[in-house]
Structures are given as structure tokens and as C-alpha cells.
Structure 1
Amino acid sequence: MSLLVKGFSLLFEPLSFGNYKWQGAFGPSLRGPQAYSRSSPLPLPSTMAGAVAAAAITALGGNLCRDECRGSSYPYCSVAGTLEEKLCRGARLRGPFYYVEGGGSRVACMYHTENSLICIDDSGKAGIVGVAQLQSVGIALDSLSRSALEGYIYTLLSVDLTATAKRVAERFELPHVKRYGVLVEVHGECGTAERVDGAIVVLGGEQRPHRLHVLNSQPLTELLKAVLERAGGDCYYWHIATPILLCRDTMPEECREALGSPRELLEKCLVEKVMGLKPCPRGRLVPEGGRVRFSAIGLGYSHCSWHQGRWAGGKRKYCAAIMPGWGIIAERVADWESWYVSGVGSYSQLGWGTIAPLPLDFLESLRCTDE
């Protein structure tokens, strides 16, 4: 592979409504809570990593299920191996994010809540934008007679990323929307990715189609550089953009011991041990009004699970996770980009544990625009 660039981005333009379910099962033929599906604003990192690897295999050839991964305990063995071979040496994905471009301006957004995104633009303006949603109600059909099954009514709450792009454009005064979609930054020693440009890929369990575009830039990295160069103060607000995985088999011993105490987990594990940062001299670790959220989250679906001597599909394991949408206040560092590119927690090379440093004064502007 010819080494050409230090990275690029992949923009997934939605061709339909998005349905990115993070937790729980859903099916039209199920009853109870499983008959309701609510989409998160953005897909999980595992969804994006798998889609990128599949697109690379389709465009460049090869097999997604790799021989060296037979019997491997690494849940992303085939995906990570494909990214390393086909796209970048030392490939590290950041995101996913939401991205809107138009009129010579760019806006990059990160997860905030199930209904909203935190966005920043080229000028350093920050704000919270609500995600447009669409609710549809349906009923399950008998597979043979195609008649309705009594009692099997399901509800699907999807995200409308096209309408969301218009909201972002209005909030940040873009004259028009040139392109938009779900964005993943790819960092590493990368060869050309032009052959995946224009590919049609599907994301999420509902198999929603997206068109893949290659951008020769890394928008969020560039926006953060511009914003932080103008920022003063001795502390940053480190926003957690994607779930931080705390899988026991990859977790430092200090983190395992602190699992029962959220405060110790934050101070001794996340900030001091994993990130290597010092708390802000002001003493507050979590911003006022911030809420630390822990959950168990699945690592996604694998098409390359080695089972009884053959490849088979199946769900990956579950891990404890610090959920995104909030952040911590910690010291300002000169080489913030290395923290951002490396990520935090287990399997961070695939986008899990993406953290983005922002100036502390952003917190006040975000409070003013919060829903």
C-alpha cells in the first residue's frame, strides 16, 4: 500500500431515515418492549467500523473473515485486520459524528442526548441542536398468507438526518446545505480510499442505505484545532462523544477495583490512569448539572464468529460502559490531539471512547442553548 496521507474522513450520506438502536432487541413479530424501537441520533462505533471494513473489502477485494482470526478472543479481529490491511497502517477511527457543510462553512456535531447533538462550527460558535425524528406504526404480517397478525403492533421512532441538517444550517446560519451525514475520521498512515467513494452501504439492524463519500480532511480535528488555538485558561472540558468501554479483560487493575464507585472510577481510573490527566485546579470534575451515566452495552454483531469449525454470525459480548453526552473538567494539555486520536477505554482504536477537548467557556454557551 502506497503511503499518501495521514488520514481522511468517510461521510455516510443517508438515503433513507436512520435507525440506530444502541440497546435491546426489536422485531415486528415481537411483543412488549421489544415491539418498540427508538433510534439514537448516531450509530455505535462498532456499526461504523464494520461498514467501513465491508466497503473496503467490496471495493478492494479480499475476505472479511480472516484466517488468522479463527479462535481469536479479540471481538474485532477481522474488522481491525481489514482496516489495517486495506486502508491504513495503525488505523484509528474517531466518531461517529454528524457533519453538515454549506456556503463555505462546516459544522461538526457530537452526541448529547437521545434527542440532541452538541455542535461547533469554523468560527468557534457552539450550540445544541435537536434531532428531527419520525414515528411510524406498523403491524406484523404472516409470512405465508401476508395477513395481519392480531396483537403484533410495533412502533419505530427513526431519525430524519435530512431535516436535522436543515436545523443545523438554520442554527449556524449556513446559506444552504451542500452535504451532510454521519462522519467517521480515519487516522493513520493511509493509502488512497478513492475506490470506496460512492459505495452504497447499510447501517444498523434495519439495514438503512447510505452513500459513502471520501473527504480529504478531518473536519472535527480541524475545528477543534481552530477553537483551542483561540482558547485561554488552564483547563478543558473533555466531552465524551462515544461510549467508553470498560471491558474487564482489557481494563487496568485500578479500574476493576473502582467499578463499584462512580467517583473513584472517574478520578482514579478514567482521568488519572487511563487518560493520564490531572484534575482541574478548580476542583470540580463533572460540570454543574452533568450526570455520570453507566450502562452495559453490546459490542455489536459479528459476521465472522468462529464456531464449531466454521464462520457464523452472532452477537458480540457485553461490556460495562460510561455513556456519552456529558464530559469531565481536567487540565489543559498541549498535545491534546494524541488523547483525541488514541481515545479512552477498551477497543478505542475503532471509535469507542472518543473524547473531544473544548474550551471551558463552551459550557456556558451550551447551557444557554440547552433544551
Structure 2
Amino acid sequence: MSFQTTYSLVIRPLYLASFRWGGSFTPLVTGPAAIAFSEPLPMPSTIAGLLAGEASGYKPFQSKVSPEELGRLIAEKLDFGDKFVLRGPYIYNSDTKTVYLHYWDRSPTRERLVAVELVEGKMVITFQNVDYHQHTGIALNNTCKSVVRGLIYTQMLVKQDKSIIVEVHDAKKAWPDKKIVRRFGGEGRIAVIEKMGDTPLHKLTTSIKVGNTWYAYVATPILLPPHSINNLAKILEGEDRVIDVEEPPNTRILIPTLKELENLIEVEEEQNGSHAGGNTRDKQAKIAKRFRTKIALLSPGYDMAANMPRPLHPAIMPGSIVKIETSLSPQQLYQEGVGLYRRLGWGTLLPLPQKLIVKQK
């Protein structure tokens, strides 16, 4: 007799981490451009690669491996079964019971996380800064081990003092009850991995009661089919607002207008818990702009066998708030995910209530 189990994998990077969403970074680039910022969280492909490594015994793949094949490998070799799905990653502070979600921004100097809490039955979001450590390196000549002139580079590594969480839903077999140490993320930095019985982000979704159309925060990128790029052109030009994500069936994404986002958001001053004074409408408009749908081209990971990034996909990036039309409940769609490769964590959505409180510092 088989059964499904749900739990979380807790990943704790040892002090510093490097998650390079933009692709490979090389010291061969010189000058002001020779700097790279780590994102606060890894892509779902990094998590899938970690699990696939466990499944394969860390033996190198001899040919290209698609994300679908990675899913099948994890299902078979780790005995997760065909029904398993991953949700996240996200950050969790077990002391304060706070969930932190990724907020993707083209500017490296702005806040890159949002803290999500339930306060007196209301969902409250606060923008959070990320602590960085400046790491400077040089390029060496492989033959004589001397410094190559001019090849100096800087990376901003993220200081990660909280746990990265990946939820595993409907797995046939549970993760072993022991800690393991593995290389994780860019530069193969070290992390400790163990199992936790709690699923904090999933618990947040159980408080949401909505109808067939509702808003959601994009927690991990929603990968769209390559052919959808033609439709995205109309969306970017304001001619259309509907994206057919194909997976799961009968589910569509609507790009909300700025006015709709303003009506969803209620701004609150963090100092005293009072509602924002002054021109409230202007503050709502300013905050609403930060949650507008962000679309980019994204590679769903690096193919180690081919030694190259996987082909680019249009993607709705974390930090976007989108409108959902679906026959599924918010809890069902959270577990299902949206878009391509959703069983591996892509397209994780946090359903939102009819009013979202955003605290301002």
C-alpha cells in the first residue's frame, strides 16, 4: 500500500551564497561591467539539479537532460513517485514564523525580498533589504599561475542567515531524517540540508477564501511556452491583458491594470501601525507600480552535460501580482503551480486576499 507525504527540505547555506539568475559570470569582462549581484534565492532549476544529483549519485550526465527528464529521474531514483511536486523556494524564519518571498528587480540596489505575515487575520507584506558581501577576485594564468593583467572582478554574495525552504508535496517516499552537506549554487558553495515536517507557505494559502477570479503573488518565475512571445508583444503594448499558460488546463493569467492594483493594496505606516497619512492615493499608486507584472526572458537552468544554458523562455518574474482565472481553488492551484515545468517549483503562486496590506518603513 502506497501513501503520499508532504514535508519541506531546509537548505542552510554556510554564511555566503551565490545565485546567478542572469547566467554565467566571467572575470574576462573588465571595467564597470565586471560586477555581479547574487539573487537572494536560487532558481527552481538549482533545487532540481540538487535532487537530480542525489538521484544519480552525482555521476555526470552523458547527454542533454531536459527539465522533464530531471523530473522523471527524481521521481524514479529518489522514489518520490509520479505525483510529487516541488513548491518554492522561499525563505523562512522559524523564530518569527515569517515567510520571505523573492522580489525580482532590475536594480540591484532596491529591496529583493518581501516578508509575508498574517496579522489579526490580514495578510501583510513588507519590503526587505538583502545583506551582501563584496567578494573581489582576480584571474590567474593557468600555466604560470601569475595574475592576468586587468582581469579583476567583483561579486556581491548574499549573506544568508535564514533557511531556504523547498516544499515537497505528494511524495511516495520521505527524505531521510538526517543532515547532509552538499555543494549548492554558484561556485559550489557549501550548504546543510535536512527535512522539516512543516510547510509554512502552504499554510498561508489555507487562510485565503476567494471566488473563481483572484489575485496572486508570483513567488517563482512562471515559464511560458516560446510561442507565447507573440501574445506578450501585444500585452507589452497594452493591446491585450490575457495570457493562456496552457498548464494547468482551463487556467488563464490576466495582467491587472494599475488601477486594479491600487484597489487591491492598502498602505500602512510601519512605525505605529496606522494607515498612511498624507496623499494616500499617491502612496498606493507608488506601491502598486512596484507590483506590476514583470516579464523577462529566462533560461530554466544550466545543462551541465551540454555545458550551456537551456533555451530562453518568456517568464513572468517574482514580485509580480497577477490575476487568475481558473476552476481550481487557491490551495489547489498553489500545489499544482502554473506554466511549464511546474512540478519542479516553477510557477509557484501565493493567493492573495481581497485586500493586501503593504507596510511602509
Q: Does 1:242 align with 2:220?
A: yes
Q: Does 1:212 align with 2:208?
A: no
Q: Give the distance between the partners of 1:150 and 1:134, measured in 2 at CA.
A: 24
Kept in 2: contact 1:274–1:345 (CA 8 A) = no
Cα deviations across residues 240-291 of structure 1 (Å, max 9, x unaligned)?
A: 111111232xx6xxx4651321256642425999662586999955553233
Read off the aligned partner of 1:244 and give its amino acid letter.
I
Read off the aligned partner of 1:194 and give its amino acid letter.
P
Read off the aligned partner of 1:343 and give its amino acid letter.
G
Deviation at 1:350, TM superposition (A): 1.0
Q: How does 1:28-177 map to 2 (within 5 A)?
A: 28-32=27-31, 35-58=34-57, 65=61, 75-85=66-76, 86-89=78-81, 90-102=83-95, 105-114=96-105, 115-121=111-117, 123=119, 124-162=123-161
Read off the aligned partner of 1:203 and give its amino acid letter.
F
Q: Give the distance between the partners of 2:203 and 2:39, measured in 1 at CA.
A: 26
- Helix, strand or coil at the partner of 1:206: helix
Change (3 A) 1:351 1:64: farther
Residue of 267, 272, 276 corresponding to 2:242: 267
Read off the aligned partner of 2:99 and give its amino acid letter.
A
Matched residue count: 323
Q: Give the distance between the partners of 2:255 and 2:221, measured in 1 at CA.
A: 23
TM-score between the two structures when normalised by the length of structure 1: 0.75
Kept in 2: contact 1:277–1:330 (CA 8 A) = yes
Change (3 A) 1:184 1:25: same
Which deviates further from its counterpart, 237-246 or 277-286?
277-286
- Helix, strand or coil at the partner of 1:46: helix
Q: Give the distance between the partners of 1:315 and 1:257, measured in 2 at CA.
A: 23
Deviation at 1:191, TM superposition (A): 0.9
Read off the aligned partner of 2:196 and give its amino acid letter.
L
Read off the aligned partner of 1:302 and give its amino acid letter.
D
Q: Give the distance between the partners of 1:265 and 1:275, measured in 2 at CA.
A: 18
Cα deviations across residues 34-91 of structure 1 (Å, max 9, x unaligned)?
A: 6321111111111111112223444xxx96749xxx67xx722442122211142222
Q: Give the distance between the partners of 2:20 and 2:301, measured in 1 at CA.
A: 11
Kept in 2: contact 1:55–1:201 (CA 8 A) = no
Q: Give the distance between the partners of 1:46 and 1:108, measured in 2 at CA.
A: 21
Kept in 1: contact 2:104–2:317 (CA 8 A) = no
Q: Which residue of 1 aligns with 2:231?
A: 258
Deviation at 1:112, TM superposition (A): 1.5
Deviation at 1:214, TM superposition (A): 0.6
Identity %: 27
- Helix, strand or coil at the partner of 2:233: coil
Cα deviations across residues 185-238 of structure 1 (Å, max 9, x unaligned)?
A: 11124212116x31112222321111101112221101221x326xx7986430
- Helix, strand or coil at the partner of 2:352: strand
Change (3 A) 1:233 1:18: same
Deviation at 1:9, TM superposition (A): 1.0
Residue of 199, 205, 209 corresponding to 2:180: 199
Q: Give the distance between the partners of 1:45 and 1:304, measured in 2 at CA.
A: 18
Which deviates further from its counterpart, 274-283 or 149-158?
274-283
Read off the aligned partner of 2:116 and give its amino acid letter.
I
Read off the aligned partner of 1:320 and give its amino acid letter.
P
Read off the aligned partner of 2:208 and give its amino acid letter.
L
Kept in 2: contact 1:238–1:328 (CA 8 A) = yes
TM-score between the two structures when normalised by the length of structure 2: 0.77
* Greater fraction of residues in helix: 1
Read off the aligned partner of 1:240 and give its amino acid letter.
V
Deviation at 1:13, TM superposition (A): 0.5
- Helix, strand or coil at the partner of 1:353: coil
Gaps of 5+ in 1: 163-179, 306-312
Q: Which residue of 2 aligns with 1:177?
A: none
Q: Give the distance between the partners of 1:339 and 1:347, measured in 2 at CA.
A: 14
Gaps of 5+ in 2: 106-110, 263-287
- Helix, strand or coil at the partner of 1:88: coil
- Helix, strand or coil at the partner of 2:16: coil
Q: Give the distance between the partners of 2:21 and 2:253, measured in 1 at CA.
A: 32
Change (3 A) 1:350 1:34: farther
Q: Give the distance between the partners of 1:275 and 1:158, measured in 2 at CA.
A: 41
Deviation at 1:298, TM superposition (A): 1.3
Q: Which residue of 2 aligns with 1:356?
A: 350
Q: Does 1:325 align with 2:305?
A: no
Q: Give the distance between the partners of 1:122 and 1:260, measured in 2 at CA.
A: 37
Change (3 A) 1:34 1:12: farther
Q: Give the distance between the partners of 1:233 and 1:300, measured in 2 at CA.
A: 35
Change (3 A) 1:327 1:194: same
Q: Give the distance between the partners of 2:211 and 2:71, measured in 1 at CA.
A: 38
Q: Give the distance between the partners of 2:326 and 2:98, measured in 1 at CA.
A: 24
Q: Give the distance between the partners of 2:324 and 2:195, measured in 1 at CA.
A: 34
Kept in 2: contact 1:25–1:34 (CA 8 A) = no
